[in-house]
Amino acid sequence: MKELWRAAFVIARRDFTAVVLSRTFILFLLGPLLPILIGFAFGGLGDKISSTDLRPVVGLALTGQDDAAIQRAHDRLSQRMGEQSLPRLRRVPATPSPRVQLARTDSEVVAILSGSIAHPVLTGKAEDLDKLQGDISLLSTAAQAERTLRFITVERQEVSRSLGAQAQGRLIIGRIAQVVMFFLTILLAGMILSNLVEEKTNKIIEILAAAVPIDAIFLGKLMAMLAMSFVGIAFWGGTAFAIFEAIGGHATRLPTPAVGWPIFLMLAVLYFGMAYTLLGSLFLGIGAQAATVREVQTLNMPITMGQMLIFFFASYAVDHMGSPAEVAACIFPFSSPFAMIARAGQDATLWPHLVALLWQAAFVALIIRVGVLLFRRHVMQSGGRWWKNLFRPATG
Amino acid sequence: MIGDISASSTAAPSAYAVEGHGLVKTFGSFRAVDGIDIQVPAGSIYGVLGPNGAGKTTLLRTLLGIVDPDEGHRTLLGEAQPLRMARAVGYLPEERGLYPSMKSFEAIAFMGALRGLPLHVGRERAKAMLEGHGMGAAIDKPIRQLSKGMAQTVQLFGTIVHEPRLIVLDEPFSGLDAINQEKLEALIRQQARNGVTILFSTHVIAHAERLCERIAIVAGGRIRFEGTPGDARDRLRSQVRLRTRADDGPWRAALPADTVREEDGWHFALPDEGIEPLLRALIDGQAGIENLSIERPGLHDAFVAIAGAAVAKQMVQQDAAEEPA
């Protein structure tokens, strides 16, 4: 076993330095910043588009008092519910009739509100009325209420601790950890797919296979890519934390996970490592069967879809702690790290994490072994039926 | 599950560095290695000769444990699991492979590290080897910037940097120019002088003739001959070339049945009873001997005869097998 790890370490060191000391690694580190910048740019633009152009405009053909009351109700409701939730309002002349105004080519409103607050009449096409009728009723009711009812203020009763809020906070922490872990895994593990192509196209595999067990090659490659991922995560995490601090964020205000922050972070690292090596070993095994980069590229899409399915399964489980689905997500090896980190956010019990980590590690070993045997069988054209050699020592 | 390999062998020392018995390796229905028995004496230079596609590479890969045989068993330095002896073996595959972005000395050290040599020792040795070979300027160069010959030299150094007891070279001379071939031959002799066993394959007979103490001629996945190059040459009878003044006469009856008339005279294999009876008959028959020479066949002749006959025989067998009943 010692020799296997030694050989794996030699392979890992070569791969790690080859990746980390290359110029492209800088691009790799800066890569995740691009979506953020694009998100800011397009997000701002999108906000502008949705806030200025997309909300329907309703014309107000009301008397002066009713018009003012509707506008005030609109302002109050928009303040509480958000501007996007209500149509925009624009004053239009009382004459000619709404039908005539809407028929004009220069009409800029979707529908026209006439009549009075007590008996509002909304004129427009049926499908527009279907959308707007409820909003206008709400506005009219609020305007009418202003005249007949007083605004009720709520008395505040503060507590220092709320378990409901804590549960909500922990749920959010679990979900965020799950999402972050998933995106890091999908971003980083996919790179392993093409990891053996270099060795195969450059004929290096022959030298490696003659010198060390193929298990060591697989293991070394996984170790190298995991180490490279941790370098990336340390960089991105450090940058994110610096930005968080710079914009005035305080880590102490974040909700505390059930197991506490130190253990939660440690588990996050371990579960990311497991998620990465589970998927990575699978990708390595699949990618090793591919003869060319093109074949690897073709495999990318179905594999990404598979990852998405696993993520949806695990994220469904977050909201259903203790349910059969959540237990299944914790047991199924590929969703287990995602489900378990969410569990760490919500449940303080530690022993299931130890069991889960051992279970996941066993599967990593199993997947590597199957991948190696399939590689020997189909690529090296050696060895018999793969399942017959599954538990034989890795000596060639 | 993921088990152990150890670097040292507990196997008893054997007179043979490499042994294979009844080795069979098939790819689909093609028998690339078809029941081969081979024994490579420790400390010898042993050549596996054969035409292209004879099964030489598959045989070496099987002996090294890169592929497992379908039948038979092999030992490498006395160990049935070849990878257990990885630290004591150097292997230069037929298809050369190096990481293009790696520096020359790093590539050599990496190959040594794969076989257990500490990286810092490998780096020092690599630099010394490259400098000693007049490639000092290439030490820090990435492989992709080297010429093909230089890259091959780097790979060869990577094969021996950990000072193995057994060096296996698959077609080591292919792609090298005459000067580098000469250097490689010298290097092989040097390693052999140090007690290292050298097993190499080639289809260029001249190298084997100059280097090998023993050879195996492989054709159609089988060993057709095994022995010393001298034994191989002895498989063919010496050739006699005779030029006479007279074209015809009673002396012609004394010529062997396989005699061929060519422009420069008569050609035939040396008779089993020797040249003297024939010489006496030629003199008595007044043939007027102008020239008579006896030429011992070279290894090339032996190779062509042995491998060619084997391939021809195999083709006949295949044809017979494919004929409808």
Domain limits of chain A?
2-29+165-389, 61-144
User: What pLDDT does A267 receive?
Assistant: 94
Reading phi first (left if > 0) and then psi (alpha if -120 to 50, else beta), residue A206 is in alpha
A330-347 pLDDT, tens per residue?
A: 999 988 999 999 888 888
| Of B70, B67, B64, B51, residue with least CA distance to B17 | B64
Test the B interface: residue of A1, A3, A16, A390 with most B CBs within 10 Å: A3
Q: Mean pLDDT across the stretch B27-54? A: 91
| Cα–Cα distance measured from residue A14 to residue A7, given in angstroms and rounded to the nearest whole number | 11
A1 touching chain B per CB within 8 A: yes
Cβ(B291)–Cβ(B242) below 8 Å: yes
Structure tokens at A5: 């790890």
Q: Whats the size of chain B, residue-wise?
A: 325
Q: Which residues contact B75 (CB under 8 A, 6 or more apart)?
A: B11, B14, B16, B18, B19
pLDDT at A248 over 80: no
Q: Do B66 and A2 touch (CB under 8 A)?
A: no
pLDDT at B64 over 70: yes
Residues A220, A15 contacting (CB under 8 angstroms): yes
DSSP B128-196: HHHHHTT-GGGTTSBGGGS-HHHHHHHHHHHHHTT--SEEEEESTTTT--HHHHHHHHHHHHHHHHTT-
Q: Which has the minimum average pLDDT: A52-61, A218-227, B76-85, B90-99?
A: A52-61
What mean pLDDT is predicted for residues A91-95? 88
CA of A325 vs chain B CAs: smallest distance (Å): 31
Cα separation, B112 vs B119, in Å, equals 7
The CA distance from A41 to B250, in Å, is: 109
Establish if A351 touches chain B: CB-CB under 8 angstroms.
no
What CA–CA distance (Å, rounded) separates A59 from A98? 9
Rg of chain A over Cα atoms, rounded to whole angstroms, equals 30
C-alpha B171/C-alpha B173 separation (Å) is 6
Contact A224, A11 (CB under 8 A): yes
The closest of B236, B234, B211 to B49, measured between CA atoms, is B211
Average pLDDT over residues A174-202: 81
- A358 close to B (CB below 8 A): no
Of A291-305, B190-204, B289-303, which range is least confident? A291-305
What residues of A are in contact with residue B102 (Cβ under 8 Å)? 14, 18
Beta carbons of A382 and B68 less than 8 Å apart? yes
Residue whose structure tokens are 């080591």:
B172
Amino acid at A33: L
Give A368-395 pLDDT, tens digit per residue: 888 888 888 877 777 666 666 666 665 5
State whether B4 and A393 contact (CB < 8 Å): yes
Average pLDDT over residues A348-363: 93
Q: What is the pLDDT of residues A253-271, one digit of tens each?
A: 677 888 888 999 999 999 9
- The pLDDT of B27-47, averaged and rounded, is 92
Mind telling me how many Å the CA of B66 is from chain A's nearest CA? 5
Measure the CA–CA gap between A368 and B75, rounded to whole angstroms: 27
Q: Would you give the distance in Å from CA B211 to the centre of its chain?
A: 9
Taking only the tens place, the pLDDT of each residue in B134-156 is: 899 999 999 999 988 889 999 99
Mutate to test the interface with A, among B74, B114, B146 (most CBs of A within 10 A): B114
Q: Chain A residues with CB inside 8 Å of B122's CB? A: none
Rounded distance between C-alpha atoms, residue B222 and residue B54, angstroms: 8
Predicted local confidence at residue B193, as pLDDT: 94
Residues of A in contact with B89 (CB under 8 A): 210
Averaged over A12-19, what is the pLDDT? Answer: 92
Q: Which two tokens stand for residue A368?
A: 């590597």
Which of A154-163, A359-368, B113-122, B129-138 bottoms out in mean pLDDT, i.e. has the lowest? A154-163
Query: Structural domain boundaries of chain B?
Result: 3-232, 239-295
Q: What is the pLDDT of residue A268?
A: 92
Report percent pLDDT > 90 for chain A: 28
CB A112 within 8 A of CB A61: yes
Average pLDDT over residues B88-104: 91
Task: State how beta strands B214-219 and B197-202 pair.
Answer: unpaired
Tokens of B262: 């060519």
Say if the Cβ atoms of A210 and B91 lie within 8 Å.
yes
Q: From the list A13, A203, A382, which residue is nearest B97 (CB)?
A: A203
Averaged pLDDT for residues A128-137: 91
A130 touches chain B (CB under 8 A): no
Residues of B whose CB is below 8 A from A10? 110, 113-114, 119
Closest by Cβ to A14, choosing from B1, B5, B110: B110
Q: Residue B201's pLDDT band (boundaries 50, 70, 90)?
A: very high
Q: Please classify residue A84 by burial: count the beta carbons closer than 10 Å to its beta carbon, then call 0-12 exposed, 13-18 middle and 19+ buried.
A: exposed
Instruction: Return d(Cα B288, Cα B282) in angstroms, integer.
Output: 8
Residue of A124, A391, A267, A37 whose CA lies nearest to B2: A391
Query: Which range among A246-250, B8-12, B298-302 shows the weakest confidence by mean pLDDT?
Result: B8-12
Assigned fold of B3-232: Rossmann fold (3.40.50)
A34-A40-A42-A46 Cα dihedral, nearest 10 degrees:
160
Cα(B230)–Cα(B297) distance, rounded to whole angstroms? Answer: 10
Across chain B, what does the average pLDDT equal? 87
Rounded to two decimals, the ipTM of the complex is: 0.80
The dihedrals phi and psi of A118, each to the nearest 5 degrees, come to -70, -35
The maximal CA–CA distance of chain B, rounded, in angstroms, is 84
Kindly state the helix (H) or strand (E) to which residue A239 belongs, with its residue range: helix A214-246
- The structure tokens listed for B43 are 């400390």
Residue A181, min C-alpha distance to chain B (Å):
28
Asked if B4 and A205 come within 8 Å (Cβ–Cβ), the reply is no
What is the dihedral angle through the alpha carbons of B283, B287, B288, B289, rounded to the nearest 10 degrees? -70
- Check whether A116 has a pLDDT greater than 70: yes
In this prediction, residue B198 has a pLDDT band, given cuts at 50, 70 and 90, of: very high
* For testing contact with chain A, the best of B83, B85, B157 (most A CBs within 10 A): B83
- In 3D space, the residue among A286, A281, A317, A285 whose CA is nearest the CA of residue A302 turns out to be A286
Return phi, psi of residue A382, to 5°. -140, 155
In angstroms, the CA A331 to CA A144 distance is: 58
- Report how far residue B299's alpha carbon sits from residue B217's, in angstroms, rounded to the nearest whole number: 11
Binned at pLDDT 50, 70 and 90, residue B301 comes out as confident
If pLDDT is split at 50, 70 and 90, which confidence band does B4 have? very low
A8 and chain B in contact, CB less than 8 A: no
Q: What are the φ/ψ torsions at residue A19 (nearest 5 degrees)? A: -80, -50
- Does B50 have pLDDT greater than 50? yes
The shortest CB-CB distance from B66 to any of A7, A210, A384 is to A210
